[in-house]
Amino acid sequence: MAHYKTEQDDWLIVYLKYLLFVFNFFFWVGGAAVLAVGIWTLVEKSGYLSVLASSTFAASAYILIFAGALVMVTGFLGFGAILREQKGCLSTYFCLLLVIFLVELVAGVLAHVYYQRLSDELKQHLNQTLAENYGQPGATQITASVDRLQQDFKCCGSNSSADWQHSTYILSREAEGRRVPDSCCKTVVTRCGQRAHPSNIYKVEGGCLTKLEQFLADHLLLMGAVGIGVACLQICGMVLTCCLHRRLQRHFY
């Protein structure tokens, strides 16, 4: 007949339970942080995504949101498994930890890889966007993204305001004599872009390329650090879960 020793009879089980409980708490908090970073990136910074050539930046954020939500659900399961000392729940908890570990590792690696080629992509795509897509029919989202970019970063053009001289929009009748878009102006009013004086537009402040590159690089590093950091933390959780599971198995005899 199977006999189970209570936790009072084995200090090691009690010790492992407390360790795993503490880990699970920080794991749950980490999941909330991952979820918050992912949502914040998409909600607050989605206006810049249209000027990027690839969707890797957005994909990394979506993966973090998925992983963060899964972490929070798994955290609740972990608390129940620890308190009830159920081997089945502990096994499920371990499997979910492994899945989340892989998901967050992928998000972190994606962010790191994209960080390596961010500069070249921005140089090529931002210039092309300003020259060919801005202000064109069917490119409303891109136009709005560029306008927001120039206002938020207080910049004009890719490298300088002179980049707009080759823009299809500026050379068209729709520009109404503007030398730069109105979003280049320090104080935006209708057709303020007709006057390209440094007192009126962001001319001496430089272009948007360097500022956007630094902004995205900082966010990619944050996303990568959060993803990989929480993933590494989960290794400790998986080890503790295995130890507690094996210890509970030995107490059935």
The per-residue pLDDT for 1 is 37
The pTM of this model reads 0.68
Q: Which of 213, 216, 146, 211 is nearest to 184 (CA)?
A: 146
pLDDT of 47 reads 66
pLDDT tens, N- to C-terminus, the chain (253 residues) = 344 444 444 677 777 778 878 888 887 887 888 788 788 877 776 666 667 666 666 777 787 788 788 888 888 887 777 777 677 777 888 888 888 888 777 776 777 777 777 777 777 788 888 888 898 888 888 888 899 889 988 999 888 888 898 899 999 988 889 999 999 999 999 999 999 888 888 988 888 888 888 887 787 777 777 777 777 777 887 887 887 777 776 655 4
pLDDT at 215: 82
